[in-house]
């Protein structure tokens, strides 16, 4: 017999799967290299409840539909399975499905751990075996990845961070990337990297956000084990790895999840709920238990098999609301007449409970742009259970403010002060991501007004503002050295810009800010709490000066941050001191090494008994043009 009756599923597995509570389906579904009756081969299983017949086709049987039919389980699970002898690792295959309507279709394996290099679309029999050497990292991860520790994230797209100069059209392999990325992140002082989606996807211009192979590392860069090597090398240098994860939608490619067995299996059958009009993609049916099991198992897979330290969950707002990006009259409603997608809300709560309940020291981060309450509140307290949420309002207000000519900034002062009113309503991450440097939005440096010197000074002070505000940080690749072009996924970053002093100075600034952020407890110990922030002056709109305090657990760690957001040199500027103490400038964006003008405060600032800003003691300081200063107490 060419296909032996065999199953990896117990009755308990089936009951968990159909109830939406099986979170390790990757151990059961897909292609598994095993031995049955002393014969090596591969066990296949796939969920296709409305199919009339399912078989395996591939290079091992000359793609003949008739030779290797799978057996349908006798229960109501809709699973087809069987063991095929002598099918070895590396075998290329698909599922041949006679669908609900009797049409013969070919599908890739939703649980395949490897796929062919696009544009080819077949799955490959593979394994996830790897001898990990990152145990020291995993042991200390709960401490280093905690919410009271610094998190400075470098977001990157593997295909365009660097390319081979001698062959610029070729993307680098995971191993080649490891050789240059690890030392670069170490040198720059980022604590984490965030990889834009590395799951297999067919259309390169989608940047990985339209996935067909949810359980497969993209073959564009190598094998699953080579991705594991990259993550391991980062871990060896105490660098955390966050993966972008897309449970919000998937493309309609013929070999993918769409219409998998001739019916709307993974996507919602009601296209008001199942189709995304902006992205022309299909929305998962979160009301279906088996779909929730699939998605949560996928999240667990990347944390389990690839030792990822966190997932940044894409487009959460699009999942939460039926009327996201739709006119009200075109949107569906829930059973109570509201716009909330109750199935998606249940899914996100189950997801976060499963992740935090099974993995120590990981984080989930929501890319969520709505005002949905409690995104980072625990599930038991009525929240969605995420660890952090992107602070989109802060990002939008900040960029709007900085685009203004400095002469007009006094009229927009509130755009920088307003975010503090809600800064502690969630655990916020402050992002300057890839989304801000594409589609005609211009690069970060060209968002800044003024001549060349002013553009760079503006960008330095913008980054200083981000690094000294409450919340964790995220910076997209190229932003750290003021990439001049918008991000182009087809080409490498413009690393040659570092030959020029302004760009080199910007890179040095970001390196110094990372060092400051990770070494000063006041900047991270209370990232998500009112305890860590206090204004000294928030109302000097006429001079566009902002002064605030950052506090750690110990009074001696207190910092004062001063921003001057005009090109006017503010000499002998008086401000109130939080503590009667001597103060020393420990950071200044105007340093000449940063391509600044060198207007520093080299002398110790001494307290004077003169009331200012409602404080008993004050002092005078010189604030450089378009500059940021950080002060710390000194004996």
Q: What are the sequence ranges of the domains in the chain?
A: 11-124, 393-429+452-477+501-635
User: Which tokens go with 622?
Assistant: 């010189």
- Catalytic option among 99, 233, 367, 540: 367
pLDDT for res 1? 53
Q: Give the three-class secondary structure for 536.
A: strand
d(CA 52, CA 261): 9
Q: What is the mean pLDDT of the chain?
A: 97
Is there a catalytic annotation at residue 314? yes
CB 343 within 8 A of CB 20: no
Structure confidence by residue, pLDDT tens digits, 186-219: 999 999 999 999 999 999 999 999 999 999 999 9
pLDDT tens, residue by residue, 29-56? 999 999 999 999 999 999 999 999 999 9
The structure's pTM equals: 0.96
Tell me the helices (H) and strands (E) count for the chain, helix number first: 13, 27
CA 428/CA 277 separation, integer angstroms: 29
Which residues neighbour 527 within 8 Å (Cβ) at sequence distance 6 or greater?
147, 148, 427, 470, 471, 472
Q: What is the pLDDT of residue 69?
A: 97
Residue 373, number of CB atoms within 10 A of its CB: 11
Return the minimum-mean-pLDDT range out of 153-157, 164-168, 357-361, 384-388.
164-168
Rounded CA-CA distance 319/279 in Å is 13
Q: What is the pLDDT of residue 486?
A: 96
The CATH number of domain 11-124, selected from 3.30.1490.190, 2.60.40.10, 3.60.21.10, 1.10.3470.10: 2.60.40.10
Sign of CA dihedral 106, 110, 112, 115: positive
| pLDDT for 329 | 85
The pLDDT of residue 492 is above 60: yes
Beta-bridged to residue 58, according to DSSP, are: 93
- As a whole number of angstroms, the distance between CA 210 and CA 194 comes to 18
Q: Which residues of 92-102 are buried (b: 16+ CB within 10 A; e: fewer)?
A: bbbbbbbbbee
Torsion of CA 314, 316, 321, 323, to 10 degrees: -30
**Residue 329 in tokens:** 């009259």
Q: What is the pLDDT of residue 327?
A: 87
| Model confidence at 295: pLDDT above 90 | yes
631 Cβ partners below 8 Å, 6+ apart? 559, 560, 561, 562, 583, 584, 585, 586, 605, 621
pLDDT of residue 58: 97
Buried b (16+ CB within 10 A) or exposed e, 48-84: bbebbbbbbbbebbeeebebbbbbbeeeebbbbbbbb
* DSSP calls for 459-522: HHHHHHHHHHSSSEEEEETTGGGT-SSPP-TTS---GGGGGSHHHHHHHHHHHHHHHHHHH-GG
Which among 176, 314, 436, 540 is annotated as catalytic? 314
High-pLDDT (> 70) share of the chain, %: 100
Residue 451 burial by Cβ neighbours in a 10 Å radius (0-12, 13-18, 19+): exposed
Can 11-124 and 393-429+452-477+501-635 be said to share one CATH topology? yes
- CA 203/CA 339 separation, integer angstroms: 31
Listed residue (631, 272, 294, 334) closest to 464, CA to CA? 631
Paired with 588 in beta bridges are: 629
Assess contact for 247 and 316: CB atoms under 8 A.
Answer: no
Whether domain 393-429+452-477+501-635 has CATH 2.60.40.1180: yes
Q: What are the C-alpha distances in Å from 228 to residues 178, 200, 215, 216?
A: 10, 15, 13, 12
Residue 635 has what pLDDT?
76
Phi, psi of 511 (to 5 degrees): -60, -45
Q: Strand pairing partners for 154?
A: 193, 475
Q: How far apart are the first and last CA of the chain?
A: 84
- Please, which residues have CB within 8 angstroms of residue 380's CB and are 6 or more apart in sequence? none
pLDDT tens track for 515-531 = 999 999 999 999 999 99
What does the angle CA 218 – CA 221 – CA 227 come to, to the nearest 5 degrees?
75
Rounded distance, CA 100 to CA 50, Å? 5
111-133 tens-digit pLDDT: 999 999 999 999 999 999 999 99
**Could you give the 3-state DSSP secondary structure of residue 121?**
coil
pLDDT at 328: 84
Give, in degrees to the nearest 5, the angle at Cα 215 between 212 and 217: 85
Parallel/antiparallel/unpaired status of strands 152-156 and 192-195: parallel
Are 613 and 619 a contacting pair, CB within 8 Å? Answer: no
Q: Is the separation of the CB atoms in 316 and 352 below 8 Å?
A: no
d(CA 80, CA 76): 11
Question: Any idea which residue has 């590395």 for tokens?
Answer: 198
Give the confidence band of 2 by pLDDT, cuts at 50, 70, 90.
confident
**Structure tokens of 21?**
């509570």
Six token digits for residue 627: 């500059």
Q: Which residues are registered as beta bridge partners of 474?
A: 153, 431
Say how far apart CA 226 and CA 456 lie, in whole Å. 38
Comparing C-alpha atoms, which of 586, 578, 587, 574 is closest to residue 548? Answer: 578
């Amino acid at each position: 017999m060419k296909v032996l009756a065999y199953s990896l599923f117990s009755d308990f597995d089936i009951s968990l799967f159909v109830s939406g509570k099986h979170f390790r389906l990757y151990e059961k579904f897909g292609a598994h290299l095993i031995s049955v009756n002393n014969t090596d081969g591969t066990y296949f299983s796939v969920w296709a409840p409305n199919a009339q017949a399912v078989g395996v086709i591939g290079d091992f049987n000359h793609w003949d539909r008739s030779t290797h039919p799978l057996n349908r389980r006798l229960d109501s699970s809709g699973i087809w399975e069987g063991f095929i002898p002598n099918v070895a690792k590396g075998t290329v295959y698909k599922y041949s499905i006679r669908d609900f309507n009797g049409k013969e279709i070919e599908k890739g394996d939703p649980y395949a751990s490897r796929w062919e290099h696009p544009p080819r679309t077949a799955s490959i029999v593979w394994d996830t075996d790897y001898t990990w050497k990152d145990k020291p990292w995993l042991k200390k991860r709960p401490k280093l990845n905690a919410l009271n520790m610094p998190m400075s994230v470098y977001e990157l797209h593997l295909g365009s961070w660097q390319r081979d100069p001698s062959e610029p059209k070729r993307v680098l392999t995971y191993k080649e990337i490891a050789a240059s990325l690890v030392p670069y992140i170490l040198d720059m002082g980022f604590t984490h990297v965030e990889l834009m989606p590395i799951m297999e996807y067919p259309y390169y211009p989608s940047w990985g956000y339209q996935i067909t192979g949810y359980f497969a590392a993209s073959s564009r860069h190598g094998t699953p084990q080579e991705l594991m090597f990259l993550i391991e090398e980062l871990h060896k240098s105490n660098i955390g790895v966050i993966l972008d994860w897309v449970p919000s939608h998937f493309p309609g490619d013929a070999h993918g999840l769409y219409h998998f067995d001739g019916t709307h299996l993974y996507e919602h059958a009601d296209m008001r709920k199942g189709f995304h009009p902006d992205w022309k993609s299909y929305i998962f049916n979160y009301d279906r238990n088996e779909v929730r099991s699939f998605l949560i198992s996928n999240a667990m897979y990347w944390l389990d098999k690839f030792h990822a330290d966190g997932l940044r969950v894409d487009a959460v707002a699009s999942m939460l609301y039926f009327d996201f990006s739709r006119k009200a009259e075109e949107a569906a409603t829930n059973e109570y007449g509201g716009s909330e997608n109750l199935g998606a809300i249940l899914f996100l709560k189950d997801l976060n409970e499963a992740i935090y309940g099974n993995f120590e020291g990981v984080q989930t981060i929501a890319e969520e742009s709505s005002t949905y309450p409690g995104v980072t509140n625990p599930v038991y307290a009525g929240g969605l259970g995420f660890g952090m949420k992107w602070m989109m309002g802060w990002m939008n207000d900040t960029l709007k403010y900085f685009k203004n000519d400095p002469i007009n900034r006094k009229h927009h002062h509130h755009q920088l002060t307003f975010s503090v009113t809600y800064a502690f309503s969630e655990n916020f991450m402050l992002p300057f991501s890839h989304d801000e440097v594409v589609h005609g939005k211009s690069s970060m440096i060209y968002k800044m007004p003024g001549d060349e010197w002013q553009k760079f000074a503006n960008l330095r002070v913008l980054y200083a503002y981000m690094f000294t505000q409450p919340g964790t940080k995220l910076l997209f690749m190229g932003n750290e050295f003021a990439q001049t072009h918008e991000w182009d996924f087809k080409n490498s970053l413009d690393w040659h810009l570092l030959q020029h002093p302004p760009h080199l100075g910007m890179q040095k600034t970001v390196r110094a800010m990372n060092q400051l952020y990770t070494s000063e407890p006041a900047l991270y110990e209370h990232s998500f709490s009112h305890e860590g922030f206090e204004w000294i002056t928030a109302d000097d709109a006429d001079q566009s000066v902002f002064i605030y305090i950052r506090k750690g657990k110990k009074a001696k760690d207190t910092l004062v941050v001063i921003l001057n957001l005009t090109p006017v040199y503010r000499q002998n500027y008086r401000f109130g001191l939080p503590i009667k103490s001597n103060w020393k400038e420990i950071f200044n964006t105007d340093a000449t090494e940063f391509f600044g003008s060198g207007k520093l405060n080299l002398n110790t600032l001494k307290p004077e008994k003169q009331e200012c800003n409602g404080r008993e003691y004050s002092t005078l300081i010189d604030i450089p043009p378009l500059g940021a200063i950080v002060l710390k107490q000194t004996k």
